[in-house]
Amino acid sequence: MSEQVGKTPSVHAAKIKMSGCELTDFFHIIAQRHALDSIVFLCIGTDRSTGDALGPLTGSRLKEYGFPHVIGTLPEPCDALNLETKLSGIPEDKIIIAIDACLGQPSSVGCFFASEGALTPAQSVGGKLPAVGDYSVAAVVNVHGPKPYWTLQVTSLYEVMGMAEQLAKIAASAFGLRA
């Protein structure tokens, strides 16, 4: 696993496959452990690729729900070009919840992999970015194949928007926020 940025959570934290319902418990645990103001959502991705838009879509919805600290929205994405700059602006006392899209097995499409630990952005496409997050959620938006960039480009926007909404709604509910 690559070098982690920010705090050093368990490097070998298990990534657990979850449905949306199971993700509710994951966010409830985080909400019990940490005050809302101490949380920063780091929503990774770009609006220039349907599959990779999950992060900015989720970030925009989190802002609408009233989360005070969200990095990575549709107007201001957090992508491979600016990730490290955005990370450097996060105070060290903040708890980072990293959210990103990923590609996976056919049976995992539509599911989430959550972890008390970091995720490594751009892994599906062979990118070399630092691992980020004290907690992380990777949403499986499509099947991993020989052409990952192409797969992300042709991923269903409807599916990605649904997953982004589900993620934001679950997080908002866990922290007692309503849109």
Q: Is residue 179 part of a domain?
A: no
Q: Is residue 65 part of a domain?
A: yes
SS (H, E, C) the chain: CCCEECCCCCCCCCCEEECHHHHHHHHHHHHHHCCHHHEEEEEECCCCCCHHHHHHHHHHHHHHHCCCCEECCCCCCECCCCHHHHHHCCCCCCEEEEEEEEEECHHHCCCEEEECCCECCCHHHCCCCCEECCEEEEEEEEECCCCHHHHHHCCCHHHHHHHHHHHHHHHHHHCCCCC
Domain that holds residue 66: 4-174
111-143 pLDDT, tens digit each: 999 999 999 887 666 677 888 999 999 999 999
Average per-residue pLDDT in the chain?
Answer: 88
Q: Is residue 84 part of a domain?
A: yes
Q: What is the CATH number of the domain that holds 127?
A: 3.40.50.1450
pTM, two decimal places: 0.88
